[in-house]
Amino acid sequence: MTISDTELERGLRGLGSRIDHVYPAPADLARRTRERYRAQRRGRIAMATGVLVAALVVVGVPALTSTVLDGQGKAAAPTTGADPGRLPSLAELPTRGSLSNDRGWVDAVRLLPWSWTAVPGTTPEAPVDTRRVAFAGDVPGARVALVLGGDEEPAAAWFTGPLGASPEQMSLAAAPSDTIDQAPLALLDVPDPASESRTLVVVAWPGETASVVTGRSVDAAGKTSEQRRPVPMSLGVGAIMTDGPPPYPAQTQLWVDRTIPVRGSYNPTLTISARALAVGHPATEVADPRGLRGSVRADDLQATVAALAGYYGIPAEDLRPTLLAGGPVEPGSPHSTVLVGVTFPSGATTGALGIRWATTDDPSGSMFQVALTEVTPSGAALADRVFAVPASVPGGLALTISGPETATRVVVTGRDGATLAESGLARGAAVVRVSANPDGATLRFFDTAGALVATAPITGPVDR
Amino acid sequence: MGRRNDDTFEAFVAARSHDLMRTAVLLTRDRGHAEDLLQTALAKAYGRWNRIDGDDPYPYVRRILVTTAASWRRLRVTQEIVALPTHDASTPDSTEVVAERDRMAAALATLPPRMRAVLVLRYTEDLSEAATAGMLGCSVHTVRSQTVRGLARLRAVLAAAAPSIAFEEC
Kindly give, in sequence order, each residue whose CB lies less than 8 Å from that of residue A248, ignoring residues fewer than 6 positions away: A306, A307, A308, A309, A310, A311, A370
- CB within 8 Å: A23 and B77: no
Interface contact flag, A18 B133, Cβ < 8 Å: no
Q: Do B34 and A15 touch (CB under 8 A)?
A: no
Question: Is A268 found in the same domain as A165?
Answer: yes
Whether pTM exceeds 0.80: no
Q: Name the maximum alpha-carbon separation found in chain A.
A: 94
For residues A297 and A336, state if they share a domain: yes
Kindly state whether residue A218 falls inside one of the protein's structural domains: yes
Look up the domain containing A250 and give its range. 90-278
Shortest Cα distance, chain B CAs vs residue A166, angstroms: 34
Same domain, A156 and A302: no
* Nearest neighbour of B141 by CB, restricted to A8, A392, A463: A392
pLDDT of residue B143: 84
User: Is-contact A382 A349, C-beta < 8 A?
Assistant: yes
Q: From the CA atom positions of chain B, what is the Rg in Å? A: 17
* Interchain proximity B167–A8, CB inside 8 Å: no
List the pLDDT tens digit at each of the 464 positions of chain A: 567 888 888 888 877 666 555 566 777 888 888 877 776 665 444 433 332 222 222 222 222 222 222 222 232 333 333 444 567 889 999 999 999 999 999 999 999 999 876 655 556 788 999 999 999 999 999 999 999 998 767 889 999 999 999 999 999 999 888 787 778 999 999 999 888 899 999 999 999 999 999 999 999 999 999 999 999 999 999 999 999 888 887 777 888 988 776 667 777 888 989 899 888 778 999 999 999 999 999 999 999 999 999 999 999 999 999 999 999 998 899 999 999 999 999 999 999 999 888 876 566 778 787 888 899 999 988 988 999 998 877 777 889 999 999 999 999 999 889 999 999 999 999 999 988 778 789 999 999 999 999 999 999 877 65
Is the pLDDT higher at A426 or at B63?
A426
Residue A10 covered by a domain: no
Mind listing the domains of chain B with CATH numbers? 3-71 (1.10.1740.10), 95-158 (1.10.10.10)
How does DSSP classify residue B93?
S
A2 domain-assigned: no
| Domain end position, chosen among A69, A86, A103 | A86
Looking at the structure, tell me whether residues A118 and A229 fall in a common domain: yes
Nearest CB to A371 within list B10, B72, B167:
B167
Task: Please report which confidence band the pLDDT of residue B97 belongs to, taking 50, 70 and 90 as the band edges.
Answer: low
Instruction: Identify from B7, B155, B170 which residue to disrupt to test chain A contact, counting A C-beta atoms within 10 A and taking the largest count.
Output: B155
Spell out which residues of chain A touch residue B38, defining contact as CB-CB under 8 Å: 25, 29
CB contact under 8 A, B75 and A40: no
Q: Give B-chain residues touching A16 at CB under 8 angstroms.
A: 22, 26, 124
Q: Are residues A79 and A228 in the same domain?
A: no
Is position A6 within any domain?
A: no
Statement to judge: residues A341 and A229 lie in one domain: no
Chain A nearest-CA distance from B37, in A, is: 11
Whole-Å CA distances, B90 to A21, A253, A428, B87: 10, 49, 60, 9
Q: Residues of A with CB below 8 A from B72's CB?
A: 180-183, 266, 269
Probe site for chain B from A22, A226, A360, A435 (most B CB atoms < 10 A): A22
Residues A264, A404 within the same domain: no
Do residue B21 and residue A14 have CB atoms under 8 angstroms apart? no
Q: Which residue of A has its CA nearest to B163?
A: A463
A136 with A233, same domain: the answer is: yes
pLDDT reported for residue A288? 96
How many domains does chain A fold into? 3
Residues of A in contact with B71 (CB under 8 A): 180, 183
Q: What local confidence, expressed as pLDDT, does residue A183 receive?
A: 82
Q: What is the pLDDT of residue A31?
A: 83
Residue A401 is assigned to a structural domain of this protein: yes
- The answer to the question of residue A177 being in a domain is yes
- Looking at residue A82, its pLDDT comes to 42
Q: Are residues A227 and A309 in the same domain?
A: no
Q: How confident is the model at residue B88 (pLDDT cuts 50, 70, 90)?
A: very low
Give yes or no for residue B149 having a pLDDT over 80.
Answer: yes
Q: Does residue A265 sit in the same domain as residue A321?
A: no
Residues of B in contact with A152 (CB under 8 A): 44, 47-48
Q: Give dist(CA A408, CA B145) in Å, integer.
A: 29
Whether residues A396 and A263 share a domain: the answer is: no
Chain A residues touching residue B144 (CB < 8 angstroms): 392, 394
Tell me, yes or no, whether A420 lies in a domain.
yes
Probe site for chain B from A13, A33, A208 (most B CB atoms < 10 A): A33
- The complex scores an ipTM of 0.73
Which of A255, A278, A301 marks a domain boundary? A278
pLDDT tens-digit map of B118-128: 898 898 888 88
Size of interface A-B (CB pairs under 8 A): 182
| Candidates B26, B88, B139; nearest CB to A15 | B26
Residue A160 has what pLDDT? 98
pLDDT classification of B99: cutoffs 50, 70, 90: low
Q: With CB atoms and an 8 Å threshold, state whether A152 touches B48.
A: yes
Q: Are residues A156 and A207 in the same domain?
A: yes
- Residue that wins the pLDDT comparison between A394 and B58: B58
- Considering A244, A278, A312, which residue would you say is the last residue of a domain? A278
Instruction: Determine, yes or no, domain membership for A3.
Output: no
- Closest-CA residue in chain A for B48? A152
A264 and B22 in contact by Cβ < 8 A?
no
In the predicted model, is pLDDT for residue B161 greater than 60? Answer: no
Q: Give the residue from B3, B5, B12, B22 with the most A CB atoms within 10 Å of its CB, the best one to mutate.
A: B22
